[in-house]
Amino acid sequence: MICNNLSVSDNGHLLFAGLDTVELAKEYKTPLYLLDEARIRERCRTYLSAVKDAFDGNAKVLYASKAASFKRIYEIMKEEGMGTDVVSMGEIYTALRAGFDLSNAYFHSNNKTDEDIAYAMTAGVGHFVVDNAEELYAIAAEANKRDIKQKVLLRLTPGIDPHTYAAISTGKVDSKFGSAIETGQAEEIASLAMRLQGIDLVGFHCHVGSQVFDSDVYLRASDVMLTFIADMKNKYGFETKELDLGGGYGVRYTEADPEIDIHANILSVGAHMKEKAAALGIVLPTVCFEPGRSIVADAGLTLYTVGTVKNIPGYKTYVSVDGGMTDNIRFALYGAPYTLFAADNMSAPCDMKCSVVGRCCESGDIIQENVSLPGTTKRGNIIACLTTGAYHYSMASNYNRLGKPPVVMINEGKSYVAVKRETPEDIANLDL
């Protein structure tokens, strides 16, 4: 099994976090997102203890809440002592409702509107991660109106390609995110931030991409960023207090994805950065990581019920389930791989190759191709799609006016609803 929170019962049912997924499907109906709370907490603790060891306590872990944003998750993050990264008024509002201390929040996005900026300042968001000079001016103007100094980090692009999916590579010079070091724009915005009234420049941020397995990416990115930090010190006498290295490590969607030792990797990043800072003659700033995917992805799975099994002789077999691109857009967007199981028939031989598709009016509505399922699969069977805790609920849509599935959490052998199922009334409620 690709994650140790999965097992099989004597009657051939898939167990997740110790509970029978077939029973959960009966109780809560499908499609259904499940999340294993213990796994989420374990991942937070792994990162927190790793950064503590790697940076002698001089580090922070911020949960990138775009991976999965709802009230309960911010409560868990608060309890675990995590900071958070937010990117919109919606995420800020949800965090506020959870009682999350927003002084531990970092406000991202490449285009914060004036309304966003004012809202985030009123909410008391601690740090703004600023993408470009226009945004910096807008933040300074709002801060001056309030007679405050807003703490900011500047998002820079270190010019590193992590060779993951193109759509989630963000650290290259040609990117909609950040200001490039290579073109001199990073230095321009840094020197502007140092002198702009209303701005307290705390440090710098970069995020090279997502689903990264290779620590080398972080080593190279940190080299570029630390060199820039040394440059700022030498040219402007500027002392950088924080360096945020962006998102966390990759996760296993299939057996082909490597298993990664997050603690060991962060230790090696820490050792490397200390050496580099010493060689450059600078004090290592507080280092931040912003993992999203690796905190929640394999803490989640989605359950579906099979509707139809259609064989097109000479072509292929389509197994249609009661969800689709509305709850999992990742195959359509990235061709992302997944592992699927016949949750109610784990001991049957998987002798049928098929495409598992959704119920939306769209040919691209595919969960996965070349899936092996039992040849007996028919209407009413339960299918599990693994590793759906990150970027599924948060990227879900209402295409075809389908309601988003509920998020049911499992903790200490008990399940509870964290987010209710969206009903047709919920969706239509905004119509006038």
According to the binding rule CB under 6 A, does residue 135 interact with ligand LLP? no
31, 83, 162, 248: residue in contact with ligand LLP (rule CB under 6 A): 248
| Type and span of the H or E element at 225 | helix 215-236
Residue span 337-376 as binding mask against ligand LLP, x where in contact by CB under 6 A, dash where not: ----------------------------------------
DSSP 264-321: HHHHHHHHHHHHHHHHHT-PPPEEEE--SHHHHGGGEEEEEEEEEEEE-TTS-EEEEE
In this chain, which of 78, 252, 293, 359 binds ligand LLP, going by CB under 6 A?
293
Cα–Cα distance between 245 and 239 in angstroms, integer? 17
361 is an active site residue: yes
Using CB under 6 A as the binding rule, whether residue 246 contacts ligand LLP is answered as yes
Nearer to ligand LLP, 289 or 341 (CB): 289
DSSP 338-389: --EEETT-TTS---EEEEEE-SSS-TT-EEEEEEEE-TT--TT-EEEEES-S
- DSSP labels for 133-197? HHHHHHHHHHHHHHT--EEEEEEEE------S-GGGB--SSSSSSSEETTTTHHHHHHHHHHH-T
Residue 346 CB, nearest distance to ligand LLP (Å)? 27
Total residues contacting ligand LLP (rule CB under 6 A)?
A: 18
Give the range of 35-43, 194-202, 266-274, 292-300 binding ligand LLP by CB under 6 A.
Answer: 292-300
Tell whether residue 43 is a contact of ligand LLP (CB under 6 A).
no
Q: Does position 19 bind ligand LLP by CB under 6 A?
A: no
Strands 199-205 and 242-244: parallel
For residue 354 the two structure tokens come to 């098929």
Contacts (CB under 6 A) with ligand LLP, residues 295-334? 330
Nearer to ligand LLP, 70 or 391 (CB): 391
To ligand LLP, the closest distance from the beta carbon of 8 in angstroms equals 28
Q: Least distance (Å) from ligand LLP to the CB of residue 312?
A: 30
User: Cα separation of 319 and 355, whole Å?
Assistant: 6
C-alpha span between 182 and 42 (Å, rounded) = 39
Q: Which token pair is 358?
A: 């959704």
**44 belongs to the binding site for ligand LLP (CB under 6 A):** no
Q: State which residue, 248 or 406, has the beta carbon closest to ligand LLP.
A: 248
- Residue 207 interacts with ligand LLP (CB under 6 A)? yes
Residues that bind ligand LLP (CB under 6 A): 64, 66-67, 85, 108, 168, 207, 210, 246-248, 290-294, 330, 391
User: What amino acid positions are annotated as catalytic residues?
Assistant: 361
